[in-house]
Amino acid sequence: MTEEFFDLTADAKAKIANKYDEYYIKAKAAQEAGELKLVHERVLNPYDGTGFKLLKGQTVRYELTHGPQIIDTCYISMERPFQEFADTWHSSAVGACTPYEGMVYYSNTPYMRPLLTLIKDTVDLSKIEEKYGEGAAHNFVFNGGRCTTGVWEAVWGMPHCNSCDSNMLKGIFEVAGEEVARSRAAASWSAFMHFQIVEFRSAIPTKLTMHPNGRFGEIYKKGDYVELLAHQDVYGAVSTCPQGDQNDLSDYRNYVSYPMTIKIFEGKDAPLETAPDPQQQSWDPVDWIIAGRPGMVTGKIGEEQP
Ligand SMILES: [Zn+2]
């Protein structure tokens, strides 16, 4: 054993992170210079989910237009809708459990492709940290999870509660079809949350239930948004979380929810530049196991010790 603590995650980050920074920097500059044009806009109502196609070089903006509404999102590769999705594990291992401007959403194994980058977040993070402590944030992943009808029934004793799981599946069903939705491709284990305040550092278990006052002004402003650039064609799905503004969690039926707005943009004059496909060579793990694990690379086996 070495005496020094080896941070494997830091080592992985040093090798991978910042590789795709230039695309984030250029896209953010174009966005801030007003060089993007709106190509699609829709309002998502409370207790609902919707799906959309987001093409390589387009951005998606989630905007708080009616109230401080929590949303959950997920993304599936249009090229491999049954196999590849934006993976909270790969993304948070290289980035953080609290996504920030410049953080890349990577796809799952073995692809590990940069699928999206969070390019803009207008929420004043300093206000969140001031109120809830250093490390508090409103973008997060929590074991990739999202609220589910199963957990709501277990907690509140009522079947058929609206949940982010079923809302995102509804979006996937609409945009990618029943088969993809039934495969639970991404929605089952890989959701990225926005506008829900968490604080991971000071508490075990994680503090998930912070209570903003439910009004614009204290933390969120009307028109606050997060925006992501797509590096590949993806199906996106978004849910207005039934926890709403997280203001009153005393009973499922007291949660207060609001509509929010989804906007899709693209470059006015030319498409935004996107990160290249790293073209990883590893196979789908099941195919590789069936083939006898050809070309397997390993470390060393130790001798039996006395
Ligand atoms: Zn939810």
Does residue 2 sit within a domain?
A: no
Question: What distance in angstroms lies between residue 280's CA and the mean position of ligand 1's atoms?
Answer: 33
Which residue numbers in the chain have pLDDT < 50?
1
C-alpha dist (Å) from residue 295 to 8, 12, 137, 160, 284: 24, 23, 43, 48, 14
Question: What distance in angstroms lies between residue 84's CA and the mean position of ligand 1's atoms?
Answer: 23
Question: What distance in angstroms lies between residue 38's CA and the mean position of ligand 1's atoms?
Answer: 28
Does residue 46 sit within a domain?
A: yes
Please identify every residue whose CB atom is under 5 Å from ligand 1, which is an ion. 147, 164, 241
Segments forming the whole domain that contains residue 177: 8-290
| Cis peptide leading into residue 46 (ω within 30°) | no
Rounded to whole angstroms, how far apart are CA atoms 52 and 237?
A: 6
Q: Tokens for 51?
A: 């799906």
Q: 242-265: buried (b, 16+ CB within 10 Å) or exposed (e) per residue? A: bbbbbbeeeebeebbbbebbbbbb
Q: How many domains does the chain have?
A: 1
Rounded to whole angstroms, how far apart are CA atoms 170 and 185?
A: 13
Does residue 306 sit within a domain?
A: no
Q: Which residue has the tokens 């849910």?
A: 239
Rounded to whole angstroms, how far apart are CA atoms 69 and 63?
A: 9
Q: Let me know if 293 is exposed, middle or buried by CB neighbors in 10 A (0-12, 13-18, 19+).
A: exposed
Does residue 298 sit within a domain?
A: no
Please, where are the H alpha helices in 161-212? 164-176, 178-182
Question: What distance in angstroms lies between residue 9's CA and the mean position of ligand 1's atoms?
Answer: 28
Rounded to whole angstroms, how far apart are CA atoms 133 and 173?
A: 39
Question: What distance in angstroms lies between residue 166's CA and the mean position of ligand 1's atoms?
Answer: 10
Does residue 98 sit within a domain?
A: yes
Phi-psi region of 135 (alpha: psi -120 to 50; beta: other; left: phi over 0): left
Q: Which residue has the tokens 């207005």?
A: 240
Question: What distance in angstroms lies between residue 228's CA and the mean position of ligand 1's atoms?
Answer: 20
Question: What distance in angstroms lies between residue 242's CA and the mean position of ligand 1's atoms?
Answer: 6
Question: What distance in angstroms lies between residue 244's CA and the mean position of ligand 1's atoms?
Answer: 8
Question: What distance in angstroms lies between residue 256's CA and the mean position of ligand 1's atoms?
Answer: 12
Please count the other Cβ atoms lying within 10 Å of the Cβ belonging to residue 150.
12
Please enumerate in sequence order all residues whose Cβ is within 8 A of that of 143, keeping only pairs 6 or more positions apart, or say none: 88
Question: What distance in angstroms lies between residue 182's CA and the mean position of ligand 1's atoms?
Answer: 19
Question: What distance in angstroms lies between residue 92's CA and the mean position of ligand 1's atoms?
Answer: 19
Cα dihedral sign for 59, 171, 94, 138? positive
Residue 47's pLDDT is: 98
Question: What distance in angstroms lies between residue 87's CA and the mean position of ligand 1's atoms?
Answer: 18
Does residue 22 sit within a domain?
A: yes
Question: What distance in angstroms lies between residue 164's CA and the mean position of ligand 1's atoms?
Answer: 4
Question: What distance in angstroms lies between residue 283's CA and the mean position of ligand 1's atoms?
Answer: 34
Cross-strand partners of 227: 61, 120
Does residue 303 sit within a domain?
A: no
Q: Let me know if 60 is exposed, middle or buried by CB neighbors in 10 A (0-12, 13-18, 19+).
A: buried
Please count the other Cβ atoms lying within 10 Å of the Cβ belonging to residue 40.
14
Does residue 158 sit within a domain?
A: yes
**What's the whole-model pTM score?**
0.93
Per DSSP, the three-state class of 43 is strand
Question: What distance in angstroms lies between residue 221's CA and the mean position of ligand 1's atoms?
Answer: 21
Question: What distance in angstroms lies between residue 265's CA and the mean position of ligand 1's atoms?
Answer: 26
Question: What distance in angstroms lies between residue 145's CA and the mean position of ligand 1's atoms?
Answer: 9
Rounded to whole angstroms, how far apart are CA atoms 185 and 298?
A: 30
